[in-house]
Amino acid sequence: MNVDLHTHTYPASDCSHISYRDYVAWCVEHGIEAVALTNHGDMSDNRSLAPALAAEGVLLVHGVEISTLFGDFVVFSPDLDFLSTFAAVQDAPRAGELPPDAAVVWVHPGAGGGRSGSAYYLGLERMVAGVVDAVEVYNGNWLGERYVTAAEQIAAQLGAARTGGSDAHVAGQLMACYTELPDPVRSTADVVAALKQRRTIPHRAEARRPRRFGLF
Ligand SMILES: [Zn+2]
Ligand SMILES: [Zn+2]
């Protein structure tokens, strides 16, 4: 199943222009089976949208994006209360501190931290080895070759899974990049398992030109 693993909605992400209505309508119109909502340190839209999407037969996968001195990370977990403990800007998660039902994706690593203002430097991956399950190699806002190449190299060095996500802030950008996951994907736990088992394939929609909406 193809799942966009990185999206933002308004108002939980004030940088996004995608309203609840737009998000649900886009998913229904495009036959989306599952999509991950990964707002910046705010789970309120996940709580609101999950039932609305479920009513349309769409699974909402739960994640939260955090900005740290090492870059931006998305933490996935089926436990919304656990995800609610994260702030938009905070310390990087440390190995051994996360519960087994959580997975961590280092998103747009070559682009640095969106809200922390941190920059990537060579060797930084050693600081997060052990905590990162996956690296986002295709991000809809950062498809320039240098960002993709850097992310591919980091993923290889860490032995991490590779993902794609649109990082959409407008509805038209959803699924610009996405991740192929082994079927079936019935819950956030299935996504966490696929990330931990390195069973993900990143894709970018080739027909689209990368467009940037907002910075991160
Ligand atoms: Zn980011
Ligand atoms: Zn993002």
Instruction: Sketch the domain layout of the chain as residue ranges.
Output: 2-90+101-204
Q: How far does residue 204's CA lie from ligand 1's centre (Å)? A: 18
What is the average pLDDT value for the chain, to the nearest integer? 94
**Distance in Å, CA 169 to ligand 2 centroid:** 8
Distance separating alpha carbons of residues 8 and 150, to the nearest angstrom: 24
Closest by Cα among 104, 154, 109 to 134: 104
Is the CATH number 3.40.50.1110 carried by domain 2-90+101-204? Answer: no
Measure 6 CA to ligand 2 centroid, in angstroms: 6
Instruction: Among the bound ligands, name the one nearest to the CA of residue 72.
Output: 1
- Report pLDDT digits (tens) over 138-190: 999 999 999 999 999 999 999 999 999 999 999 999 999 999 999 999 999 99
Instruction: Look at strands 71-76 and 59-68 and give their pairing.
Output: antiparallel
| Mean pLDDT value across residues 43-67 | 98
What pLDDT is recorded for position 95?
83
Which of 107, 116, 108, 85 lies closest to 98, judged by CA?
85
Tell me which H or E stretch contains 212. none
- Confidence class of residue 212 from pLDDT cuts 50, 70 and 90? low
How far is residue 61 from each of residues 19, 36, 38, 173, measured CA to CA in Å? 17, 4, 9, 18
Distance 167 CA to ligand 2 centre (A): 5
